[in-house]
Structure 1
Amino acid sequence: MDTLGDLLDVLGGSSPRLLTAPAGLAVPVTEVLLYDAGSPLPHTPGALLLAVGVRAEAAGPLVRAAAGAGMAGLVVRGPDGPLAEARECGLALLSVAPDAAWHHVHLLLASAIGARPAPSAGGLGDLFALSDAIAAAVGGATAVEDPGQRILAYSTVPGQPVDEDRRQGILGLRVPESPENSEQYRQLFAAGGPVRLPALREHCLPRLAVAVRAGGETLGSIWVVDDGTLAADAEATLTQGASTAALLLLRARAARELARHQNTGLVRGLLDGTADPAAAAQRLGLDGAVRVAAFVLGTAPGLADAEQTALRLLDVVRLSCEARYGRHACVLLDGVVYALLPAPGESGGARHKALAEDIVGRAGQALRVDVRAALGEVVPDASGAAHSRADADLVLRVLDADLPVAAVDEVRARVTLLRLGEVLAERRELSAGTWRRVLAYDEEHGTEYARTLVCWFDAGCDMAGAAALLDVHPNTCRYRLRQLQQQVGTDLTDPDERLVLWLQLRTLAGLGSATPRAASRTP
């Protein structure tokens, strides 16, 4: 973390809230300190000072003292603070909720400072160093896991005993599943400190484990293989290691959130055509063909829940895409969740369709609403992302409960007719014509000439096929078409007239062979 602005970016809209920054957001921030009334303030340029034990309205002297010590800012509790003094001294002033616990605030800020976008190792390189340090101190092979039993880091100290469970876990970077494992995790997370757990099977070794927590939230766990020769202070060492692991895990999370925030802005720029495609693609790790996937709620929830449900849909899409492609960015725009998918080779289409169907199924179960997904056309590189998005937006408009997921190539005819209808409706000379006279005649006389025409066109101008669609005798169909030509004055022998009339009835009147019959039917 370099600046106050970077810190606020990592924290997003959460506490603490910036009250004033008279020196700007480019002020360097280096560390977080707790105020101790019994000790003089150290000279620590770039530090954020937490005003522990000082009421916000009485923090004016502390503002001046912090500024004199070269600090970057002061954090007070409550919405009101010494704004005038802060502006006069050029010191940033931030506030947290009146009931915020200072140690939680300290942990939050300390974890955010120094956060960077995660490198290929996931930003958890320090956890491997911590694992080695714990293993050396306690005398047993060590592993750090997340709450989902995924192995994040492990020690590599030579000569320490290991068993088959550890070998299999490290090979798959996941703890082997078993009912016995689940029971041990239940015991571990219910305990307030380190727990000694027996071996689960023959030829395996016991474990010493501790949960990693921060502010009441369980972030993971640390496990040590216990061959009976662990150090006497192993439990105390492991407890201390858990505190360090909590800080590292929070810092890695902050780094991931910062990277996600930056990537979201890049994806947004690619979708609306405002970003530099080459630079954005490089930062997003996109090399070559891409495709836009769009997800939307098919059944709108209540107005009060719409925004929250859309955000939950964003989470489902993001997690699924990250599981498939690693670091990934999705964005929520106007109620639609967009994801930019790598599309290496033509075979990517089937994989994208399968991914979209999986997300729709998962999201539908989790959110208890219908979800639909559209895939735009594959474009050669990120510069075409806006065009792929336009395709996906069109596909969304033709989806329904019977077709919840589709790629643009699968519904090309539907989206083409949709766009043609919009173009025809926008131009007076394109929306005029015989179709209006046909509809007017039907409205005035109770006939079904327009529907008969559409069914005849849909049947390839085959009278028997049209009669079947209409559920009438072919002679009835012939009679209607003859009467239509006499009464309205259209020439159905002209192929151009037939084409234009069919397009206008399908796109402007919205008629098709499946259109329900009118209430009044006249042959």
Structure 2
Amino acid sequence: MDTRTLGELLDTLGEPALRLLAAPSRLTSPVTEVLLYDAHAPFPDRAPGALLLAVGVRAGAAGALVDEAAAARMAGLVVRGEGGPPSGQGLEDGPSSGQGLGHGRGQELASGQGRGQGLADAAARARERGLALLTVDEDAAWHHVHLLLAGAVGARPSPAGGAALGDLFSLAGAVATAVGGATVIEDPRQRILAHSTIPGQPVDEPRRQGILGRQVPGSPENTEQYRVLFASQGPVRMPALSAEELPRLAIAVRAGGETLGSLWVVDDGTLAPDAEEALTQGASTAALLLLRARAAQELSRHMTGDLLRRLLDGTAEPTTAAERLGLAPGTPVRVAAFALEGAAGAPDGEQAALRLLDLVRLQCEARYGRHACVLVDGVVYALLPVADGRAGERQRRLAEDIVRRAGQALRVPVRAGLGDVVPEVAEVRGSREDADLVLRVLGPDESVAAMAEVRARAVLLRLTELLGERRELTAGAWRDIVAYDAGHGTDYARTLVCWLDAGCDMARAARWLAVHPNTCRYRLRQARTQLGIDLDDPDERLVLWLQLRTLAGLRSACA
């Protein structure tokens, strides 16, 4: 098996999913499996390379467990708590999945003496014994942590659970053989995930069209059959809906009360006597495979999302990141940023942002297949590959479509910014900064824009920030002009801005000011005389215009 090292595991998941508190001098130790700690079960004598999840153990009281894990030659121990030395009595970690601390070793770990050692002592102890000590967030569910780690430690997952979906085709063939009729496996949205190909089994035209389109054709009659099916607990025999269709034997696929999909068998009158029993067994197996496919997809999304997060903040190794994201070397990319308007501070803002992430990911995956999307500080970022010269136009339409669909679904306005195209993944951070800047300068009537469309506004915004940071850049005649207007009731500053915005065209500036051109000339002449500004000097005109536009915030009627 392709065993991962501890270093590779950390690189794959990284923060915030996993934090390293203590480790051997080298992170090359192989990680072979992920185990859940059970205080009521005997501790394994030997488990070389195992990663132990310390369920039900206080983070600050893991010292004794460190000793046992090191003695068993485990690779590391994962506890719940902050990624730094704790304060006070340590970090609480209640029981998970009914696994409390009971008697014996559990009580020792939960005792006041154990808590007093603290997480810092446990880290020092782990370093002494060559054991990795890692932490996960306080609110992390252990079953989710186990899913992520087990998937990452095992075989490298396919982008969308491909191995499990491949097994679904094998299952469809096995069910078709056992039941005696052509079989399809569907998801809850009536999309066909897999179908059988047993020679000699009849397939009617509606089923053939569904397989070709990967979707069951919709109709009121179909809708009623699915309603009956999902309300039933076992196999259901469905009559033919038309003269060109054969009857069906169907069953819903469920796990823990959740409907995961359905199995449908074409019934030409020659099904096996035990067809219903065989189909029920097939549904049970399908449930396991569908859960595995979903787990693999969830793991893949988490891993690609976290990888994109590190690319955006510049902490990922670009070549490795591009390979793991399925991008060929030198592929141009750009970042698209999506944000909910005015929802960040709302009570349900976080939930709405997560729903926006799902919507963006769904639309991007429909166009690009495996795709990296991530939610960072309320903004959803998507990494878009640029395949040709028309990609920019298509990506703008994609952003518009996402904004429209998300706005309708969430009932909150959504805005999108497209960063500049960069030649390779190593420069993704710059495209992300572009996309963030576009979101900041979008006008009230704009929902989508690319950097090229708003570059002038973006440059002025950056200049405003730069000018405001330096004393020498905020000084100048613009202050005198604004102060003179405030003290004398004049309008020299706005007149200057309109005249400069108009390219020194007096007639146009007068129209924007709604005054006679002579009034405009008089004001400019008085500004020269009273304030001593030299409007014949192009450099002074440029600096004056920039300062009035950015620092004073003045705009002409056309701006």
TM-score (normalised: structure 2) = 0.77
Relative to 1, partners in 2 of residues 1:353 and 1:70: Cα closer, same or farther, differing over 3 Å? closer
Name the SS of the counterpart of 2:466 in structure 1.
Answer: helix
Partner of 1:122: 162
Partner of 1:472: 515
Following TM superposition, by how much is the alpha carbon of 1:508 offset from its aligned partner in structure 2, in angstroms? 1.4
| Long gaps (5+) in structure 2 | 80-94, 101-141
Q: Distance in 1 between matches of 2:66 and 2:547?
A: 67
Following TM superposition, by how much is the alpha carbon of 1:366 offset from its aligned partner in structure 2, in angstroms? 1.8
Following TM superposition, by how much is the alpha carbon of 1:342 offset from its aligned partner in structure 2, in angstroms? 0.9
Q: How does 1:215-234 map to 2 (within 5 A)?
A: 215-234=256-275
Q: How does 1:139-288 map to 2 (within 5 A)?
A: 139-287=180-328, 288=331
Name the SS of the counterpart of 2:389 in structure 1.
Answer: coil
Following TM superposition, by how much is the alpha carbon of 1:348 offset from its aligned partner in structure 2, in angstroms? 0.6
Name the SS of the counterpart of 2:44 in structure 1.
Answer: helix
Letter in 2 for 1:244: T
Partner of 1:34: none
Of 29, 44, 49, the match for 1:67: 44
Following TM superposition, by how much is the alpha carbon of 1:97 offset from its aligned partner in structure 2, in angstroms? 3.8
Name the SS of the counterpart of 2:276 in structure 1.
Answer: helix
Letter in 2 for 1:439: V
Q: How does 1:386-397 map to 2 (within 5 A)?
A: 386-397=429-440
1:417-453 Cα distance to aligned partner (Å, 9 max, x none): 1122222222322222111111111111122111111
User: Kindly, what percent of the aligned residue pairs are identical?
Assistant: 63
Q: What RMSD in Å do the two structures reach over aligned CA positions?
A: 3.6
Relative to 1, partners in 2 of residues 1:445 and 1:80: Cα closer, same or farther, differing over 3 Å? closer
1:135-155 Cα distance to aligned partner (Å, 9 max, x none): 110111111111111111111
Letter in 2 for 1:243: S
In the alignment, is residue 374 of structure 1 matched against residue 417 of structure 2?
yes
Following TM superposition, by how much is the alpha carbon of 1:110 offset from its aligned partner in structure 2, in angstroms? 9.3
Name the SS of the counterpart of 1:63 in structure 2.
Answer: coil
Partner of 1:383: 426
Deviates most, 492-501 or 200-209: 492-501
| Long gaps (5+) in structure 1 | 31-45, 50-58, 517-523
Relative to 1, partners in 2 of residues 1:301 and 1:334: Cα closer, same or farther, differing over 3 Å? closer
Name the SS of the counterpart of 1:223 in structure 2.
Answer: strand
Letter in 1 for 2:158: A
Q: Distance in 2 between matches of 1:446 and 1:351?
A: 52
In the alignment, is residue 360 of structure 1 matched against residue 406 of structure 2?
no
In the alignment, is residue 96 of structure 1 matched against residue 67 of structure 2?
no
1:145-177 Cα distance to aligned partner (Å, 9 max, x none): 111111111111111111001111111111112
Letter in 2 for 1:140: G
Tell whether the 8 Å contact from 2:160 to 2:297 is kept in structure 1 after alignment.
no
Tell whether the 8 Å contact from 1:392 to 1:408 is kept in structure 2 after alignment.
yes
1:293-332 Cα distance to aligned partner (Å, 9 max, x none): 0111222354432222222221111111111111111111
Relative to 1, partners in 2 of residues 1:13 and 1:257: Cα closer, same or farther, differing over 3 Å? farther
Tell whether the 8 Å contact from 1:77 to 1:98 is kept in structure 2 after alignment.
no
Q: Distance in 2 between matches of 1:485 and 1:135?
A: 92
Following TM superposition, by how much is the alpha carbon of 1:89 offset from its aligned partner in structure 2, in angstroms? 4.8
Relative to 1, partners in 2 of residues 1:402 and 1:463: Cα closer, same or farther, differing over 3 Å? same
Relative to 1, partners in 2 of residues 1:155 and 1:275: Cα closer, same or farther, differing over 3 Å? same
Following TM superposition, by how much is the alpha carbon of 1:465 offset from its aligned partner in structure 2, in angstroms? 1.0
Following TM superposition, by how much is the alpha carbon of 1:398 offset from its aligned partner in structure 2, in angstroms? 0.3
Name the SS of the counterpart of 1:221 in structure 2.
Answer: strand
Deviates most, 66-75 or 414-423: 66-75
Q: Distance in 2 between matches of 1:325 and 1:490?
A: 57
Following TM superposition, by how much is the alpha carbon of 1:384 offset from its aligned partner in structure 2, in angstroms? 1.9
Tell whether the 8 Å contact from 1:79 to 1:96 is kept in structure 2 after alignment.
no
Q: Distance in 2 between matches of 1:120 and 1:177?
A: 26
In the alignment, is residue 289 of structure 1 matched against residue 267 of structure 2?
no
Q: Distance in 2 between matches of 1:379 and 1:110?
A: 35
Letter in 1 for 2:323: Q
Letter in 2 for 1:326: G
Letter in 1 for 2:429: A
Tell whether the 8 Å contact from 1:301 to 1:369 is kept in structure 2 after alignment.
no
Name the SS of the counterpart of 2:199 in structure 1.
Answer: coil
Deviates most, 186-195 or 473-482: 473-482
1:381-436 Cα distance to aligned partner (Å, 9 max, x none): 21221111121111111013311110001111111111222222223222221111
Relative to 1, partners in 2 of residues 1:445 and 1:321: Cα closer, same or farther, differing over 3 Å? same
Relative to 1, partners in 2 of residues 1:88 and 1:490: Cα closer, same or farther, differing over 3 Å? closer
Q: Distance in 2 between matches of 1:276 and 1:106?
A: 29
Name the SS of the counterpart of 1:332 in structure 2.
Answer: strand
Q: Distance in 2 between matches of 1:407 and 1:176?
A: 38
In the alignment, is residue 429 of structure 1 matched against residue 469 of structure 2?
no
Tell whether the 8 Å contact from 2:186 to 2:192 is kept in structure 1 after alignment.
yes
Count of residues paired in the alignment: 480
Relative to 1, partners in 2 of residues 1:70 and 1:403: Cα closer, same or farther, differing over 3 Å? closer
Letter in 2 for 1:96: S
Letter in 2 for 1:251: R
Relative to 1, partners in 2 of residues 1:433 and 1:87: Cα closer, same or farther, differing over 3 Å? closer
1:167-206 Cα distance to aligned partner (Å, 9 max, x none): 1111111111211111111111111111111111112111
Following TM superposition, by how much is the alpha carbon of 1:338 offset from its aligned partner in structure 2, in angstroms? 0.8
Relative to 1, partners in 2 of residues 1:121 and 1:333: Cα closer, same or farther, differing over 3 Å? closer
Partner of 1:41: none
Q: Distance in 1 between matches of 2:431 and 2:143?
A: 45
Relative to 1, partners in 2 of residues 1:284 and 1:97: Cα closer, same or farther, differing over 3 Å? same
Q: Distance in 2 between matches of 1:285 and 1:74?
A: 31
Tell whether the 8 Å contact from 1:63 to 1:86 is kept in structure 2 after alignment.
no
Tell whether the 8 Å contact from 1:145 to 1:221 is kept in structure 2 after alignment.
yes
Letter in 2 for 1:322: E
